[in-house]
């Protein structure tokens, strides 16, 4: 297979490959790494010189290599994309989880089973929206773990 890229497209491909490998292996240690992803990343990054990108030569003593390993690409830290993703997904997962919990508390199992799909989604959406408004206004400041009475 042969695919042609402009230098700009190749730079974006480098960032995507780096981010993809990071998503697969970034949280794993030692032998837990998924085999093959790091090797593909290295293969893609190794083609940089063909695109006139010499500052990313893989020389462990080179500052450019350190920048690659830390997610720096051409003045952009691709880890900022990871941080943005983590921030957005945190709020989304929290909103969805709390709304689902509140939905089950608000409506009993029998009532939920009798709801049409549209009614179910509409009522769940109301609870999700309430969570969104709460988080926009107060963040996590008013969230508490309430211990069960003894």
- Residue 144: the pLDDT is 93
On whether the pTM is more than 0.75, the answer is no
- Contact present, 124 and 103 (Cβ < 8 Å): yes
Phi, psi of 110 (to 5 degrees): -65, -45
For the chain, 150 residues long, the average pLDDT of each consecutive 10-residue run is: 90 88 85 85 86 66 56 71 92 97 93 96 97 96 93
How far is it, in rounded angstroms, from Cα 9 to Cα 28? 29
CA distances from 102 to 71, 94, 139 (A): 39, 12, 18
């Amino acid at each position: 297979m042969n695919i042609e890229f402009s230098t700009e497209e190749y730079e974006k491909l480098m960032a995507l490959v780096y981010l993809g490998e990071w998503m697969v292996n970034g949280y794993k240690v030692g032998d837990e790494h998924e085999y093959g992803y790091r090797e593909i990343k290295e293969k893609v990054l190794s083609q940089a010189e063909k695109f006139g990108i010499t500052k990313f030569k893989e020389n462990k003593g080179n500052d450019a290599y350190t920048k690659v390993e830390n997610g720096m690409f051409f003045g952009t830290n691709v880890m900022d994309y990871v941080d943005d993703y983590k921030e957005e997904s945190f709020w989304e997962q929290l909103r969805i989880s709390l709304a689902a919990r509140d939905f089950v508390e608000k409506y009993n199992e029998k009532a939920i089973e009798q709801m049409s799909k549209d009614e179910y989604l509409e009522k769940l959406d109301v609870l999700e929206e309430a969570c969104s408004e709460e988080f926009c206004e107060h963040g996590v400041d008013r969230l508490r773990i309430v211990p069960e009475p003894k």
